[in-house]
Structure 1
Amino acid sequence: MTRASRLSADDWVQAGYAILADGGLEALKLDRLCRRLGVTKGSFYWHFTDMAGYRAAVVEAWGQLRDRDRSRFGALGDLPPRDRLAQMMASLLGERHWSLERAMREWARTDPAAAASVRAADRQVLDAVRRAYEDAGFTGEDADMRANATFAVGVGFLHLSGETPNARLASQRDRFLDVMLAR
């Protein structure tokens, strides 16, 4: 059995994630995917009709990955609100996802399907963050405003992180949460 016959659609999606994280959407090309996986274009066409179908599969798979990650926020409900917020920020901006998250947000600027997926992710995050502020004793408009501000700052930290997440920004995130939870 050849390497190409053992590849799955998920192998192609994972390769796409790596390329997106390294070079952004412009780098997500069939030739580059084939080189990364060490296969011919025929292997690609075994799984996908064309690049549009492939890109749709990448967006869908990212949505599923994102949903799994965001669903873990519910398990944080027993933690104090400050700890919950810190863990949510760390997970969203941690090394595992930071570059892919940035790439998907860039992609969403030009692709309606990617934009819908990012918006769905953002709603889940905002809801979880709002609940944490409500659990910290903020009500209505205050919890909503703090959730929106925390989310916006989190996206800002994502873009400020540069090539790799760094300790300075992690410290700033912690200080930011202290400010947002102060009364």
Structure 2
Amino acid sequence: MTKGATGSRRLSVDDWIDAGFTLLAEAGIEALKLDRLCGHLGVTKGSFYWHFADMTAYRTALARAWAELRDHDRSGFGELSGLPPRERLATMMATLRAERQRALERAMREWARTDPAVADSVRAADHTVVAAVRTAFQDAGFDPDEADMRAHATFAAGIGFLHLSDAPAGARLAAQQERFLDVMLAR
């Protein structure tokens, strides 16, 4: 049994994954050190090795878990098809600017710069988002080529919003994104 940050229960793989997400979101990939993870959870290294062979296995599990989390979060994008295109785009942007999602997304993109497997996962996520955004622009009446260009521009701007905003998403950022949608949906 473990004591400390987790109470008096055994840690699960999910506890270790959640700790990794927290450290990634707070401090980036450099924070994923065994001592720091154990300190965060208030446990010994033996607890870590009960679940993972080594840090490589842990990082692989963490990247896989993020892919599953990301796929779950983005799976709802397809369910938005009944909404008007502008509302659909605003909802997608709001989903991606949620505080933990935003911080974790940035950290995963940084990690992807040095890890090909994580890069593949990020690219797959990006493809899903761009496809949903393209569909919204087509549903707004833009021809396929114009919808594709606007989808990529919107996606690129969204990544910019993600990386340029260190403060929690507030009214100012939401207003800027709304104004951005006005521009992108204008004819």
Deviations 1:66-122 (A, max 9, x none): 000000001111000000000001101122301000000000001011101100100
Contact 1:13/1:61, CA 8 A, preserved across alignment: yes
Hey, what does 1:32 align to over in structure 2?
36
Structure 1 unaligned residues grouped into runs of 5+: none
1:59 is matched with 63
2:112 alignment counterpart: 108
1:87 aligns with 2:71: no
> Which residues of 2 match residues 104-143 of structure 1 at below 5 A?
104-143=108-147
Distance 1:152 1:136 in 2: 19
Checking the alignment, whether the CA contact within 8 Å between 2:2 and 2:43 is kept in structure 1 is no
- Give 2:12's aligned residue: 8
Deviation at 1:2, TM superposition (A): 3.6
Secondary structure class of the residue paired with 2:145: helix
The separation in 2 between residues aligned to 1:50 and 1:122, in whole angstroms, is 29
> Deviation at 1:5?
6.2
Which amino acid in 1 is paired with 2:84?
P
Separation in structure 2 between the aligned mates of residue 180 and residue 44 of structure 1, nearest angstrom: 48
Cα distance between partner residues in 2 of 1:179 and 1:18 = 35
Q: Does 1:18 align with 2:22?
A: yes
Structure 2 unaligned segments of length 5 or more: list them: none
How far apart are the structure 2 equivalents of 1:27 and 1:33?
8
Contact 1:5 1:43 in 2 (8 A): no
- Give the deviation of 1:166 after TM superposition: 2.7
Structure 1's consecutive aligned runs of 4 or more residues displaced over 6 angstroms after TM superposition are none
CA RMSD of aligned residues (A): 1.1
Normalising by the residue count of structure 2, what TM-score does the alignment of the two structures yield?
A: 0.95
Name the stretch that deviates more: 128-137 or 156-165.
156-165
Seen in structure 2, the aligned counterparts of structure 1 residues 2 and 23 have a Cα distance that, compared at 3 Å, is closer
Aligned to 1:162: 166
Partners of 2:137 and 2:180 lie apart in 1 by 14
Q: Deviations over 1:9-29 (max 9, x none)?
A: 110010000000110001111
Percent identity between the aligned chains?
67
Quick one: structure 1 residues 168 and 27, their matched pair in 2 at CA, closer, same or farther if it must change by over 3 Å?
same
